[in-house]
Amino acid sequence: MRSGAGKQIEARGVEDPLVLEAMRAVPRHLFVPEDLRKYAYDDHPLPIGYGQTISQPYIVALMTQLLRLTGDCRVFEIGTGSGYQTAVLARLVKHVYTIEKHQELSTSAQNVLATLAVANVEFRVGDGSCGWPDGGTFDRVMITAAVPGFPQPVVAQLAEAGLIVAPVGAGSVQQLIVAEKRHGRLIERYVCGCRFVRLIGAHGFQE
């Protein structure tokens, strides 16, 4: 993250020093197509193929901060995409479990994270709206694609007092929502408007 982008992110309310440090440490240009690398540190999304994008740095930092991560967290990420958000999370938590619909994107992300010696990430290919295929519970969940609502199979895998963040809504502009699980139910808080590609799946949007 270049210094100019870093100052902009801080000015917009991302203040967690560990999140900012992780954003500075992860080389975003490695996660975008070579012909777009000159734009890698601009604060806007970029296409990565298969109708998917790498989110703008501010949104990556904001969503990461909203999860209030600790070093012992187990995080479930739905939508590996380029692997950039995955790499940021991996610097902050014990383990990341990430799932991606497109095999090619998952493979590319795995290759980049391997070059960065990131070893605390487990990858799967499949329908993330159905939850983590191996079961289990997670302290935090991040959904990096728009959903019509929080998918129930995913909510079921969120631990009590855990946090989940996702862009929610069917329109071209969604609501970024962070929610805490209390007594089996989600207490939701609206954060801001945002734009994401849709999560296609059994508990997401249809093709």
Domains of the chain, with CATH numbers?
3-194 (3.40.50.150)
CA neighbours within 13 Å on the CB side: how many for 103? Answer: 0
Q: Would residue 108 show up in a list of annotated catalytic residues for this protein? A: no
Our CA dihedral for 2, 15, 154, 94, rounded to 10 degrees, sits at 80
In this predicted structure, what is the pLDDT of residue 153? 98
Helix axes 57-66, 17-25, angle to 10 degrees: 140
First to last CA, the chain: 34
Instruction: State the average pLDDT over residues 147-153.
Output: 98
If pLDDT is split at 50, 70 and 90, which confidence band does 3 have?
A: very low
In this predicted structure, what is the pLDDT of residue 6? 62
Asked whether the predicted pLDDT for residue 116 surpasses 60, the reply is yes
What is the reported pTM? 0.95
If pLDDT is split at 50, 70 and 90, which confidence band does 62 have?
A: very high
Spot the catalytic one: 3, 55, 82, 106. Answer: 55
CA–CA separation, 80 vs 70, rounded Å?
21
